[in-house]
Amino acid sequence: MQSSNLYEQYKNITQKAADFNNAAAVLGWDQEVYMPKKGFAFRGRQLATLASQAHELVTSDAYGKILHELSSKNDLKEEQQHNVRLSLEDYEKAKKLSTDFVEKLTQQSSESYSAWIEARRQNDFSVYAPQLEKMIALKKQQADLYGYEKHPYDALLDDYEKGATVAMLNPVFKMVKEQLSPLLNQIIRAPQVDDSFFYQTFSKQKQFDLSVEMLKQIGYDFDAGRQDYSEHPFSTSFAPTDVRVTTRVDENNLASLLWSSIHEGGHALYEQGLPEEQYGLPLGAAVSLSIHESQSRLWENSVGRSLLFWKFFYPQLLQYFPEQLGKTSVEEFYKATNKVAPSLIRTEADEITYHFHVMIRYEIEKSLLINEINPKDLAGVWNEYYQKYLGVSSPDDKQGVLQDVHWSHGSFGYFPTYSLGSFYAAQFFEHAMKEVSNLEEQLANGEFKSLLQWLRTKVHQHGRRYNSEELCERITGRGLDFSSFMNYAQQKYSAIYK
């Protein structure tokens, strides 16, 4: 068969599987945004059906035969070669999981999520523990099915960060302990900045409207997306032309919405920048979760928490909340947005202590998979780690072990990508400042198009053509370098905390 016809067959199957997955994503979005409480049972079944249909398509022998035949062709275009190579890697990995197992995992995800929601409502981890234990058992089974050389966590990490291992991550988090801890201790000993003005009454609707304006300002296309409320802020994509974000509002804490909206907006900008013509194919997908996180962290921290950003945006903020913020200068507001203090909630943590939150989850996940921690004991273990690394203990389960949705979805191996993403973000932004003419001046004037275009060119347009390290080296001339983040953090916080 001619290569062109064979490639069209491959493309048709791959995109049909993407249709199933994206239909499931719509149901998943609805489950977390609008679905009534009684819908969970059947929603789990619906999601499991769609997941199994997609899995069958991309694990069938016929599909494998097409991929193997295409991989032997020497007349494919370069983009086609990349798609086939990556799809073959995905196929060989997916074949290790049976359709029955994928159905079980998807069904358990829905049941675990329902239990997590109820446990948070009751503020009682024991309500969630039995379902979480079932999920952990399935993830152990999944690691065994994938296979691994040294640690079962390696097998699960690969789903989110291709090639990542415990051996690679341990040194990264060692640097967090050895280099970031001294900086944190210096900051803790310094006079604290005042952020009390964040904790007033701020209208829910006005906060939401403000966040929409901020998203529009940085380039989020509302003709190709929307923002809604959810228990846990997230972004999801059904195609580059339909990328949605959610946020949450605390009427007594303005900061909660600001950073969740900008953060999720950064994720969404990446998805909206992926090539439409590669829909459903590897070159139409994000590189990895760490690179995805680099995009959200770059917009949230490098841009959104910068003085340049607020010199432009603060007058608009004052229009929404003149009574609450009228006596606060932009410099005071900037310092408050960058207040560093050990806290309980990861999603609301500052960009220094944040990595200790991630490290705690990393350590717990590794231990769960090798039976060093019993899932029933997680609430106590959680507090032990928080006391050890951040000197705080949660007064209840909702602010402690129940704060993250990830484990209910079975996302073991996801958390480390958050820190990797922050470190990549610092490195990318460092180079954007060098390569984009007058970028500092543009940001101060609220002009973000040049930065977004730089990211479109350097990151978004490539899809999965390169892995994380290859992409980083292509952009910055070297692989992940923790020193970029440390230099950024030391310069920024030395100035704020003097």
Query: pLDDT tens digit string along 124-158?
Result: 999 999 999 999 999 999 999 999 999 999 999 99
What's the mean per-residue pLDDT of the chain?
95
- Kindly state the tokens that stand for 473: 């080296």
Rounded mean pLDDT of 431-460?
A: 97
Judge whether 264 counts as a catalytic residue. Answer: yes
Using the Cα atoms of residue 161, residue 167, residue 169 and residue 171 in order, give the sign of their dihedral.
negative
- Kindly state the tokens that stand for 343: 């806290």
pLDDT at 232: 80
Q: Is 184 within 8 Å of 352 (Cβ atoms)? A: yes
Rounded mean pLDDT of 469-488?
A: 95
Using the Cα atoms of residue 124, residue 130, residue 135 and residue 139 in order, give the sign of their dihedral.
positive
Q: Which of 32, 111, 161, 264 is catalytic?
A: 264
pLDDT at 52: 87
Out of 42-46, 63-67, 431-435, 481-485, pick the least confident. 42-46
Q: Is 239 within 8 Å of 256 (Cβ atoms)? A: no
pLDDT at 299: 98
Residues 10-63: tens digit of each pLDDT:
999 999 999 999 999 999 999 999 999 888 879 888 988 998 899 899 999 999
Q: Is 232 within 8 Å of 262 (Cβ atoms)? A: no
Distance of alpha carbon 160 from alpha carbon 169, whole angstroms: 13
pLDDT at 41: 79
Q: Is the pLDDT of residue 256 over 90?
A: no
- Kindly state the tokens that stand for 35: 């679905």
Q: Is the pLDDT of residue 99 over 90?
A: no
Residues 331-361: tens digit of each pLDDT:
999 999 999 999 999 988 999 999 999 999 9
